Amino acid sequence: MPRLSAWFVRAALSYLTLGFTFGALMLANKGIPLHPLLWRLLPAHIEFLLFGWTVQLAFGVAFWILPRWQTQRGDLRPAWAAFILLNGGIWLVVLGGWSNGPAWWLAAGRLLEVAAMAAFAVHAWPRVKPWVEETK
Amino acid sequence: MPHITRLFIKTSLLYLVAALLAGLLLMLRPLVDLPVIVGGLSPVYFHLFMVGWVMQLIVGVAYWMFPKWSKTRPRGYDALALATFWLLNTGLLLRVVAEPAQTVSAWAGWGWLLVAAATLQWLAGLAFVANTWPRVKEK
């Protein structure tokens, strides 16, 4: 597995742990009320599991297994940018929500996430190619 | 394909169907007179899809395709993978029963079943991460 995939997948597994922990706390709190503040974990639970876990794992595995040119994976810069932007965006959204920060904080987080998706698409687009090109 | 992977993937397909059936029931509520308990299916629908289908499919495929842990233990601890399967599914099914039931019944046991569901699914997540982390290796 290439270095960037390992980073994506390790980060995804870390978010899975956090997201499952928050989800378990909220579900237990639904069964036996522990503390009303636990409901504030909901946006982080969703953010960590949808973007931190699922999307990030998909990026990591796609970077690893999409077709290559000989041994090369093309321009790595947008893929690394996607990793940094995605994780920066996730934490901006989560911390902005927890701290009741200004609306632009959440918007900035979402903007980084959009930029991450675009950057990954820029990297992956040329690697989605027919078999015939690989034999040239 | 390893036996545990087949178990995960086939079970995930069953959850996909179950999730969409739950979604269908939720959509029918305004049109058809359905039992009140159907109203409590909303979070169940979402988790049948995301935990039962998406998560379980990922776990099954990761167990199969990720780099080998070692020559003697290529896919990590099989017992831990099997524990992931049973913990995840027991926890999820407990939730599927107890969460809607809690909306129509005052029995205190439903609450404790939800605590059990939360604990089992959390342990499943930890077991999966523990068994997968050492297989994420740079080459």
**For residue range B74-83, what is the model confidence (pLDDT) as tens digits?**
999 999 999 9
Residues of the domain holding B32: 3-135
**Average confidence (pLDDT) over B82-98:** 98
Counting residues of chain A whose pLDDT is more than 90, the rounded percentage is: 83
Domain count, chain B: 1
**Res A102: pLDDT:** 87
Rounded to an integer, what distance in angstroms lies between the CA atom of residue A35 and that of residue A52?
26
How would you class A36 by CB atoms within 10 Å of its CB: exposed for 0-12, middle for 13-18, buried for 19 or more?
exposed
A vs B, Cβ pairs < 8 A, gives 72
A68 touches chain B (CB under 8 A): no
Model pLDDT, residue A93: 95
- The per-residue pLDDT for A135 is 52
- Residue A69: predicted pLDDT: 84
- The predicted pLDDT at position A99 comes to 87
Cβ–Cβ below 8 Å for A3 and B138 = yes
Dist. CA A68–CA A70, nearest whole Å: 6
Amino acid A101: pLDDT: 81
Task: Report the gap between the CA of B39 and the closest CA in chain A (Å).
Answer: 16
Assign B20 to helix, strand or coil. Answer: helix
Identify from A26, A27, A53 which residue to disrupt to test chain B contact, counting B C-beta atoms within 10 A and taking the largest count: A27
State the number of CA atoms in the 13 A half-sphere of A75 facing the CB: 12
Asked if pLDDT for residue A132 goes beyond 80, the answer is no
- Convert the pLDDT of each residue in B96-137 to its tens digit: 999 999 999 999 999 999 999 999 999 999 999 999 999 999
Q: What is the pLDDT of residue A133?
A: 55
Closest CA to A59 of A82, A29, A43, A36: A82
Contact A126, A133 (CB under 8 A): no
